[in-house]
Structure 1
C-alpha cells in the first residue's frame, strides 16, 4: 500500500512539472552587436590626440537603447596586477575612460600598446556585451629617426616621426634647455631589445648616455659610467649589439679606445655591471684595439648560436666571439660563453683568404640574407677589397666573397653601405657623390648614382628591421630604402641638415627620391628608433 501511495505521489508531481513546462512564456533576447570599431590599431599621440570612437549598435529585435549602459576601458598590454598594492576592483576602475556611448577621450597615458574594451550592458537582462580594440600610443619621440646634430660645438637632437605613410612630425632641438653640457656629438648607438631593455646611446664629448625611453633626454642618472664597475670618469661607446637569440644571450659594447666589454642576460637582470675589458686573446696579456664595426646576423635573421665577428685593428685580423659547446649525458649540446675572442677560424667556403688580412677595416655589417660583408683598405694605398662570409649555427663561418673594389675615380671614400638583399655596395665620397658597385659583376667599375655638390655626407645606411615589432606594409617597404644624411657647408649650422631617402625598385635601377627633409641641424649621425621601445 505504501508503494502504491508513493507511485501516485510521483505521478502527480510529474504531471505538475509537465503543466509548469507547458505554461512557460519564452522571450527572445534583444542581443546587441557593435559595428564601426576598427579591427586594426588606433595610432595616436599622447598629449596631442583625442581618442574618438562612435560605435553603431545593432539590436536584434530593434527598439530603444535607453535600457543600455556603457563603459570604455583602456589597459596597457604589458601591465601586471600587483596583489600587494591595490585590489583588482580598484585597479580595474582606474582603467575606465568613459561611460557614454560615444567616446571622446583626451589621451595622456604613457607611450606604449594598449588593449581597449567597450562594454554594453542590457539592464533588462543583466547581460553584458564586449568589443575589443587596440591603441598604439606614441609621443613625438616614440619612434622614427633620431638625428644627432651639432650646433655651435654642442650636441643637439632632432626627431622625425611618422604618423602615417605620408604624414610626419619633425621635432627640432629636443634637448634645448637641458641644463647639462654634452659637448660635441660623436655617435648614436641603438640596440632594440625586448629581453635586455633597449639601449639608445648618445655618445658625446662629455660621455655616453642611455636616453630616457619616454623623452629621449640624457641625464646624469643614465650616464653609462654607472654600468661599468671600474667607475670611469666617462665612457665613449661607439659600437655595440645585443645578441638575443644566441646561446648565451649577451650584450656587447665597444668604446672609442677600442676596448671590448660584454655581459650576459643574467648579469643585467641581477644588476651586474660591465667588469673588465676582454679585447685580448684568452692566453695573452697583450691588449689590442677592436673596431667599432661588428659583423653578425641581425635580429630579424634569428642568430641562433652564431659567431659575433670582430676586427683587431692593432694586428689587422678577424676575430670571433663564440661560446664553448658542451654535451650532456644524453648528447644534448649547451653553450657557455667564452670570456675572450679568438682569431677567426673558417670552415671552408667558395673562396680562400686568411683571418690575418694585414689590412685596415673601414666597414663591416650583416645583411638580411645572413651574410657579413667587410671592406678593407691596404695601408698606404687607396686599394679596397671586399670580404664576404656567412655565419652558421655552432659558430661555423664560411668564406663566400673576395674581390677588389673598382672605384670610378680617385675621390676619397668616407662611407659604405651594403644593400640588405641585393649584392650591391654603395659608397659616398668626400666630394658629396654616391656610387654603386655590383658584387655580381666585380669586373665593372662603380657607377655614380647621386651627387650633392657643396654638401658633406655624414652618414649613409639602410634601416634594418628588428624582431617583435608589428610593421605596417609601408613601414616594411622602407627597409629597402637608402638613407643619406648630411649638411650644406654653405648654410648656418642650425638649418644646414638635409635628410634624403631613396628607393631602388629593381636591383640595378636608378635611385628614386622618396623624401627630402631640410633645415635640420648639422647632421652628425642618425639611428632609427622602433615602435614599442619603452623599456629602460
Structure 2
C-alpha cells in the first residue's frame, strides 16, 4: 500500500515539473472588433421632384483605422405612407455606390425610405442608416382656388413659398375648362389605372365639376386622369349635371342630379381600384334619387337631400344608400320628419364641435319666398329620425335675403352669410345675428366666397390652421383673406391675402402629408 502511494506521488511530481518547464506560445493579444461610424446625415429630407438634386456627403470612419469601404445607396417607396400598397411590388432601387451621393430627384412625389449601407472590406462587417425622403412637386402644397372666368373655369395655386401658379388648365390645355364652375374637391388617396402602363397609381387628386363636365387631376403634375366622358365603367357617360367628387372613406364618391355614385378603393388597406364609376346607388336597390347639389361629408358618410321625395339620405363608407325613419329610437313620433320635405334646400353645412357631427340645412318655404327654416339634424348612421329641431328664421333677419353661406365647422355653432355684400354671423343656438367687420378687408369689393377652411392632420403643429376665409373681386381681380378665428369671428389682421385674376368661388388646401385617411382633417363637404 505504501508503494502505491509512493508511485502516485512520483507521477504527480513529474507532471508538475514538466508543466513548469513548458513554454506557452499561444497568441493572447486580443483586439476589439472594428466598428463603422457614419456622421453628417439627417433623419429626413424634403426635395422637389424634377427640380432638386439630393446631395449627401457623410463622414465614414472605423475604430480600427480602416478606410477601405464599399458604399450602397438605395431608395424605395415607404410602406403605409399612402403612396404605395402591399399589393404593389416594392422595387429597391440603387441610386449610388460612392460615399458622396448626388441624386437628381427625377421621381414621382411620395414618401421614400433612403438607405445608406457601408461595408468594411477588410472584415466584411457592415452598417446601415435609413432616412426618410419626402418628394414633392410645385403642386404638392398650397391653396387651390377655383375660379369663375365667365362661363369658363380655371384653377390657381398659391404655394407655401408664396409663389403663384395661375390658370393651370389654360397652361395645361391652351384654354380654360368650358362652362361655369360648380365645385372643387380633394381626394388625398386616389387610386387609378395608368392606361399606358396598365399599372395602379396612388396619388392625390384635385376634382373639379362644372355645369357640364368633370375633371379629375393628378396633383403630382396636374395632368388629367379622367373627365366626365371617360370616368364611367363601360365607357358611356350619362347625361347629367355634375355636382361634386370627394373621398368617401373606402372609396370615391360622386353626385350629380341623376344620383350618388361610388367607386370602391382603399389603397392603405390594399383595396385598389380604377377610380371609375358604375351606376348610381339606389334606395332598396330599386329607387332612384335626385340629389340636391348641396351635401355634407361627416362620420365617413355623405348626406344629401333627395329632391324626388324630399328626404334626407346618406351614402355610407361602402357605397350603400340609406334612408331615415320618421320615428325616433323608441319608435315614437317626432314633430319634424326627414321625409316628405316640400321646402327648397338652399344650403347644407356641418359642425363638429365636441366631437359630434351636426348638420344645418337652410330651407326656403315652398310657398312664401324669403321665408326660411333651419333644420338641425344628427349626422350619423342610425336609421332613426335625425331631426333635432326646426327653427323658423325671424322675418327681420338678414339671413332671409342672403346669397352666400358657410358654417363654422370646428369652434363655434354659427352660420356665416352675405346679404347686400355685407358679412354677417348667425348664432345657431341663440338665433341672433351680427354684422362682421374684418380688419383690413377692403370695402367696395364684391364678396364672392365665404368658408371655414382648416387643416389639422399635420404632425407639425405649425402647419395646422383654422381660418375664416373671404374672397372678393374688383376690376377682374380677386383677393382672398385668411383670418384666424376667435369665438367664431375673424380675429386680428389677415394671416395672408392671396391675390390674382378672376372670381374665386371655392378653395382647398393641399399638404404633402395628406393620405387616404386624412378626410376628417380638412373640409370634405360640397
Instruction: Specify the TM-score bucket, using the shorter chain as the normaliser.
Output: 0.7 to 0.9
Deviation of 1:397 (Å) = 5.9
Q: Does 1:37 align with 2:41?
A: yes
> What count of residue pairs does the alignment treat as equivalent?
467
Deviation of 1:116 (Å) = 0.9
From the superposition, tell whether residues 43 and 395 of structure 1 become closer, same or farther in structure 2 (CA, over 3 Å): farther
For 1:83 and 1:250, locate their aligned partners in 2 and report how far apart those are by CA, in whole Å. Answer: 18
Q: Does 1:504 align with 2:452?
A: no
Structure 1: tracts of 5 or more residues without a match: 1-10, 324-335
Q: 2:165 aligns with which of 141, 154, 171?
A: 171
- Residue 9 of structure 2 is matched in structure 1 by none
For residues 183-224 of structure 1, the C-alpha deviation after alignment (integer angstroms, 9 at most, x for no partner) is 1341323233467865532223552121134221337x5445
- Residue 202 of structure 1 is matched in structure 2 by 208
Deviation of 1:429 (Å) = 1.4
Deviation of 1:130 (Å) = 1.1
Tell me the SS of whatever aligns to 2:491. Answer: coil
For residues 315-335 of structure 1, the C-alpha deviation after alignment (integer angstroms, 9 at most, x for no partner) is 443234469xxxxxxxxxxxx
For 2:502 and 2:489, locate their aligned partners in 1 and report how far apart those are by CA, in whole Å. Answer: 33
- Residue 159 of structure 2 is matched in structure 1 by 161
Q: Does 1:518 align with 2:499?
A: yes
- Residue 184 of structure 2 is matched in structure 1 by 188
Do the aligned partners of 2:359 and 2:379 also contact (CA within 8 Å) in 1? no
Deviation of 1:474 (Å) = 1.9
Deviation of 1:139 (Å) = 0.7
Deviation of 1:140 (Å) = 0.8
Do the aligned partners of 2:416 and 2:425 also contact (CA within 8 Å) in 1? yes
From the superposition, tell whether residues 434 and 526 of structure 1 become closer, same or farther in structure 2 (CA, over 3 Å): same
Do the aligned partners of 1:483 and 1:500 also contact (CA within 8 Å) in 2? yes
Q: 1:428 aligns with which of 417, 422, 443?
A: 417
Q: 1:419 aligns with which of 404, 408, 429?
A: 408
Q: 1:142 aligns with which of 131, 140, 154?
A: 140
- Residue 523 of structure 2 is matched in structure 1 by none
- Residue 98 of structure 2 is matched in structure 1 by 99
Q: Does 1:365 align with 2:349?
A: yes
Tell me the SS of whatever aligns to 1:227. Answer: coil
Tell me the SS of whatever aligns to 1:215. Answer: coil
From the superposition, tell whether residues 337 and 191 of structure 1 become closer, same or farther in structure 2 (CA, over 3 Å): closer
Do the aligned partners of 2:289 and 2:308 also contact (CA within 8 Å) in 1? yes
Deviation of 1:111 (Å) = 0.8
Deviation of 1:500 (Å) = 1.8
From the superposition, tell whether residues 410 and 239 of structure 1 become closer, same or farther in structure 2 (CA, over 3 Å): closer
For residues 69-128 of structure 1, the C-alpha deviation after alignment (integer angstroms, 9 at most, x for no partner) is 4333322225689999xxx9xx64x43246234x44332111111111122332333222
Q: CA RMSD in A?
A: 4.1
- Residue 259 of structure 1 is matched in structure 2 by 259
- Residue 7 of structure 1 is matched in structure 2 by none
- Residue 3 of structure 1 is matched in structure 2 by none
For residues 23-49 of structure 1, the C-alpha deviation after alignment (integer angstroms, 9 at most, x for no partner) is 24321234233344333x422211222
For 1:346 and 1:98, locate their aligned partners in 2 and report how far apart those are by CA, in whole Å. Answer: 70
Q: 1:388 aligns with which of 355, 376, 396?
A: 376
For 1:386 and 1:359, locate their aligned partners in 2 and report how far apart those are by CA, in whole Å. Answer: 11
For 1:20 and 1:241, locate their aligned partners in 2 and report how far apart those are by CA, in whole Å. Answer: 82
* Greater alpha carbon shift after TM alignment, 108-117 vs 27-36: 27-36
Q: 1:455 aligns with which of 397, 420, 445?
A: 445
Bigger radius of gyration among the two? 2
1:337-356 alignment runs, 5 A limit: 338=320, 341-345=322-326, 347=328, 353-355=336-338, 356=340
From the superposition, tell whether residues 80 and 98 of structure 1 become closer, same or farther in structure 2 (CA, over 3 Å): farther
From the superposition, tell whether residues 83 and 237 of structure 1 become closer, same or farther in structure 2 (CA, over 3 Å): closer
- Residue 5 of structure 2 is matched in structure 1 by none
- Residue 48 of structure 1 is matched in structure 2 by 51
Do the aligned partners of 2:312 and 2:324 also contact (CA within 8 Å) in 1? yes
From the superposition, tell whether residues 43 and 486 of structure 1 become closer, same or farther in structure 2 (CA, over 3 Å): farther
From the superposition, tell whether residues 277 and 67 of structure 1 become closer, same or farther in structure 2 (CA, over 3 Å): closer
Tell me the SS of whatever aligns to 1:211. Answer: strand
TM-score (normalised: structure 1): 0.73
For 1:317 and 1:217, locate their aligned partners in 2 and report how far apart those are by CA, in whole Å. Answer: 38
- Residue 374 of structure 1 is matched in structure 2 by 360
Structure 2: tracts of 5 or more residues without a match: 1-14, 193-201, 517-526
From the superposition, tell whether residues 279 and 449 of structure 1 become closer, same or farther in structure 2 (CA, over 3 Å): farther
From the superposition, tell whether residues 395 and 288 of structure 1 become closer, same or farther in structure 2 (CA, over 3 Å): closer
Tell me the SS of whatever aligns to 1:135. Answer: strand
TM-score (normalised: structure 2): 0.74
Going by fraction, where is strand more abundant, 1 or 2?
Answer: 2
For 1:235 and 1:389, locate their aligned partners in 2 and report how far apart those are by CA, in whole Å. Answer: 29
Tell me the SS of whatever aligns to 2:42. Answer: coil
- Residue 4 of structure 1 is matched in structure 2 by none
